[in-house]
A = this chain, B = another copy of it.
């Protein structure tokens, strides 16, 4: 049966390759556009090369340590190899995302010549290449290692490696993209009153590079490790059921569920078309189709392998939760609803009230997702418990936990499609930028603008999805951790457990402070550089001479590389320190504390940032004075604050909460053996 997972994984890669070729066949447009393509691509590649070098050094050092800690006795580098493979695959997934995005950007822009449906298709295909490649590679990696090692616990190193490199990729990319974006906007839009992506702005290439290395490569690595972590976590729990029931399907169900997800995604692709004017409609249709195919596929899969309608319902809970989180996120970030409109209206009285209203909205937006996750966990646990009640060998708790695992696999089944929509965002954004910089006709640019707006929405939606999925992944990995270290209860009345919980809750705040500060510092440098160029390069404002784009690219690259190290090490060492100081159970409390506070904080940041962005866009659509008005200027300030929240700190928190879990899973048995307390 495992062969089905391999087939699905390969199919995803082949289909991604086919889509990539079809994107690549499209023309790149004018010579100016080629030039921009080269500049963006070059900047992105240079950045990723440097970033990957840094990550490679860190992962190699850790791999050697892992070898001595875990593998040297057996003489076979099981853990170290899995770790390196995970790290490498995660980086490859990120690189491919960047590569296809830079190719699709320029082609999307040029396709606007023929109408608005072709650019939509190119951008979506580009995003889907990233999505399918990602889920395919992750499934193949996990399946292969499982085949080689034979035990789910042994491949946790794969998830650890993937998480670790994803943290650096997401954080470094996030710092890069927002430093450039904020720096470009603050001088360009606010001080000089020139439009976004104006070629006179010295930071404009850096800004576009940032979309590719932050949103594409970063998010790609993030979701790669999400899928890997959830998959392996579910298998570790499944192996506990396999042990008592001897039904092998419990163990490999996660692999098969992901295969179903890949089939559902590929089947959903043809539904991405529509005759309506709204470019969001076709994307939504694709999403709905994939969801329905998943619901159907899950039924047959669960009934055939696990033969329990209760567990199928657990899966349905997960699939529906993934839809619900998209709806909730849309409510809080779309121009159509109260929250964004309130923020836009508050901008009328200045940036102070804009920020206050936006922050109030951001705080509020955490509530429904938390309630949703809680309900999903309770419901799927309940269904798992029902299933256990019909099987005397399985305890209620183990059944319940398996129910949450099945629900998580349900959420995961639409991951490929969601990632595709996510990739659509930066591609449409870049296409708009290239059209602006290449001076394409007003008509073409008008065709691209709605895509950019929809891209903003899909980016916000998928961040909601990514966070919900990260939350469930973390909880799954936490349960797997408990299985591993044989901790049955974590009593927070015990002050040591309370300490773990409290310090865990602190970590996301501390980490986010590093991320925000890094963006602030780097943006500050960019602002000074852009101001300097406007001051010193004669004729820049008139357009008679060219800015020095590479300087801004260079500043961002250096800043991102420098600033990602310390917060990365903080996340790496914090749980290990807790483990050796306070023991394995306290680490469990730590994980729960960090998961809960990380989830809430990330939701606040992602949704809040998205709403600020769209409040600005709402004003730009002509209300409250439109572009250039005082309200608009106030809204730009809010957007500037929201940017690093939603594109640097927030998404990095997704990775953080999984990374600390995979670290703890890797080191768990050492905590048991060597803890001080």
Residues of A within 8 A of B (CB): 182, 185-186, 190-191, 345-346, 348-353, 355-357, 359-364, 366-367, 370-371, 373-374, 377-378, 381, 400, 404, 482, 487-493, 495-496, 498-499, 501-503, 505-506, 509-510, 512-514, 516-517, 519-520, 523-524, 527-528, 588-589, 592-593, 596-597, 600, 604, 636-637, 640-641, 644
State whether A349 and B499 are in contact (beta carbons under 8 Å apart), knowing that A363-B516, A367-B509, A492-B592 are contacts in the complex.
no
State whether A516 and B367 are in contact (beta carbons under 8 Å apart), knowing that A374-B503, A378-B496 are contacts in the complex.
no
Which residue of B185, B364, B501, B520 contacts A356 across the interface (Cβ within 8 Å)? B520
- In contact, B182 and A524 (Cβ under 8 angstroms): no
- Chain B nearest CB from A584 CB (Å) reads 13
Give Cα A588 to B348, complex, Å: 44
State whether A366 and B506 are in contact (beta carbons under 8 Å apart), knowing that A182-B356, A186-B353 are contacts in the complex.
yes
Q: Write the chain B residue with the least CB distance to A382.
A: B495
Across the A-B interface, give the 9 residue pairs with the lowest CB-CB distance, nearest first. A352-B640, A363-B513, A360-B516, A360-B517, A364-B513, A356-B520, A489-B491, A349-B527, A355-B641
State whether A502 and B604 are in contact (beta carbons under 8 Å apart), knowing that A349-B527, A509-B363 are contacts in the complex.
no
Which residue of B186, B495, B593 contacts A596 across the interface (Cβ within 8 Å)? B593
List, in ascending order, chain B residues with CB within 8 A of A501's CB: 492, 592, 596
List, in ascending order, chain B residues with CB within 8 A of A349's CB: 186, 523-524, 527-528
Give Cα A499 to B371, complex, Å: 9
Q: Write the chain B residue with the least CB distance to A526.
A: B349
State whether A182 and B352 are in contact (beta carbons under 8 Å apart), knowing that A367-B510, A495-B378 are contacts in the complex.
yes
- Chain B nearest CB from A199 CB (Å) reads 22
Give Cα A356 to B488, complex, Å: 42
Which residue of B351, B487, B493, B520 contacts A490 across the interface (Cβ within 8 Å)? B493
- In contact, B596 and A502 (Cβ under 8 angstroms): yes
Taking A351-B351, A367-B510 as given, write out 4 further A-B residue pairs in contact, using a Cβ cutoff of 8 Å, ordered by the A residue number: A190-B352, A356-B644, A364-B509, A377-B495
Which residue of B186, B352, B482 contacts A186 across the interface (Cβ within 8 Å)? B352
- Chain B nearest CB from A364 CB (Å) reads 4
Q: Write the chain B residue with the least CB distance to A515.
A: B360
List, in ascending order, chain B residues with CB within 8 A of A499's CB: 374, 377-378
Give Cα A490 to B350, complex, Å: 47
Which residue of B482, B527, B528 contacts A493 across the interface (Cβ within 8 Å)? B482
List, in ascending order, chain B residues with CB within 8 A of A513's CB: 360-364, 367
List, in ascending order, chain B residues with CB within 8 A of A600's CB: 505-506, 509, 597
- In contact, A520 and B360 (Cβ under 8 angstroms): yes
List, in ascending order, chain B residues with CB within 8 A of A593's CB: 596
- Chain B nearest CB from A166 CB (Å) reads 22
List, in ascending order, chain B residues with CB within 8 A of A361's CB: 513, 517
Give Cα A348 to B496, complex, Å: 45
Give Cα A90 to B514, complex, Å: 41
Give Cα A654 to B506, complex, Å: 18
State whether A359 and B482 are in contact (beta carbons under 8 Å apart), knowing that A492-B592, A596-B505 are contacts in the complex.
no
Give Cα A510 to B363, complex, Å: 6
Give Cα A346 to B636, complex, Å: 17
- Chain B nearest CB from A206 CB (Å) reads 16
- In contact, B352 and A509 (Cβ under 8 angstroms): no
- In contact, A510 and B355 (Cβ under 8 angstroms): no
Give Cα A404 to B351, complex, Å: 45
Which residue of B185, B366, B489, B640 contacts A355 across the interface (Cβ within 8 Å)? B640
Which residue of B355, B505, B516 contacts A597 across the interface (Cβ within 8 Å)? B505
Most chain B Cβ neighbours within 10 Å, of A345, A493, A501, A644: A493
- In contact, B363 and A400 (Cβ under 8 angstroms): no
- In contact, B363 and A512 (Cβ under 8 angstroms): yes
Give Cα A644 to B360, complex, Å: 11
Q: Write the chain B residue with the least CB distance to A375.
A: B499
- In contact, A353 and B516 (Cβ under 8 angstroms): no
Give Cα A496 to B397, complex, Å: 12
Which residue of B370, B400, B510 contacts A366 across the interface (Cβ within 8 Å)? B510
List, in ascending order, chain B residues with CB within 8 A of A636's CB: 352
Give Cα A349 to B498, complex, Å: 42
Most chain B Cβ neighbours within 10 Å, of A353, A356, A513, A519: A356
Give Cα A513 to B368, complex, Å: 13
Which residue of B350, B490, B523, B524 contacts A190 across the interface (Cβ within 8 Å)? B350
- In contact, B523 and A356 (Cβ under 8 angstroms): yes
List, in ascending order, chain B residues with CB within 8 A of A363's CB: 509-510, 512-513, 516
- In contact, B604 and A353 (Cβ under 8 angstroms): no
List, in ascending order, chain B residues with CB within 8 A of A637's CB: 350-352, 355, 637
Give Cα A189 to B145, complex, Å: 64
- Chain B nearest CB from A549 CB (Å) reads 20
Q: Write the chain B residue with the least CB distance to A504.
A: B596
- Chain B nearest CB from A643 CB (Å) reads 9
Q: Write the chain B residue with the least CB distance to A644.
A: B356
List, in ascending order, chain B residues with CB within 8 A of A516's CB: 356-357, 359-360, 363
Which residue of B373, B381, B400, B527 contacts A350 across the interface (Cβ within 8 Å)? B527
List, in ascending order, chain B residues with CB within 8 A of A374's CB: 499, 502-503
Q: Write the chain B residue with the least CB distance to A518.
A: B360
- Chain B nearest CB from A625 CB (Å) reads 15
Give Cα A491 to B362, complex, Å: 31
